[in-house]
Amino acid sequence: MYKGKEPIKGLPNTNILAFWQWTYSDILINKNRDDLSLFMVAKALGLTEIPRIDWQGCELRYRKKKIAVKTSGYIQSWKQKKAKRVLYDIAPKKGIDAKQKDSLTFRNRESELYIFALHTQKEVSKMDILNLEQWRFYIVRTSVLDDEFETKKKIGLRALNKLATPVHHNRIKEQIDILIDLELTERMVL
């Protein structure tokens, strides 16, 4: 895992930290905000001591569970007249992202848990994307999404609020542990 001081060979006086600063300086861009919320969730679960593994079929793995992290917010990096509508991608995937990798038609949601991260601030003048008080996290079992929204591709806040109560960052691990332990208990009963 890089620490930041490693030089980029061939670029005088340039290290990997300079790349990170340039690449991620606008955290409101959707991709960068996604990466920030993924980092925040990974930090809550104690998963930041090892490098991030991309292209593993899910964003995170915790206690042998695959976790998808979806991010949204009301404010974008471009000028806007009003807060945008919050929507999250929950589309079942097919082909290489499906559980049956040889099937091009089988669709599923690969992860077992979804965490929907919401940056809650609606006023640009008060926005501080690095302030955890301005974030809320919804944690939903994939089986619930499959039951309620089997073929839906997007979910909005109204529907999400019916499925889960938002939690502060400091309660993410506790809530996920409860869901995992509850699932294990349910399996033992069956």
Q: How far apart are CA 35 and CA 28, in angstroms?
A: 10
Distance CA 175, CA 33 (A): 23
pLDDT confidence of residue 97: 47
Q: Which of 22, 39, 33 is nearest to 78 (CA)?
A: 33
Domain range summary for the chain, segments of one domain joined by +: 30-189
- Pairing status of strand 87-89 against strand 65-73: unpaired
Write the DSSP string, 89-128.
E-PPEEGGGSSSTT-SS-EE---SEEEEEEE----GGG--
Q: Give dist(CA 50, CA 150) in Å, integer.
A: 34
pLDDT in tens, the chain (190 residues): 788 899 999 999 999 999 989 988 888 888 899 999 999 999 999 999 887 877 666 899 999 999 999 999 998 877 777 777 899 999 887 655 445 545 555 557 888 999 999 999 998 889 899 999 999 999 999 999 999 998 899 999 999 999 999 999 999 999 999 999 988 787 776 6
Question: Which residue, among 57, 185, 16, has the nearest Cα to 7 in the 3D structure?
Answer: 16
Q: Which among 59, 51, 173, 160 has a CA at the least distance from the CA of 111? A: 59
pLDDT value of position 139: 97
CA-wise closest residue to 136 among 170, 173, 180, 179: 170
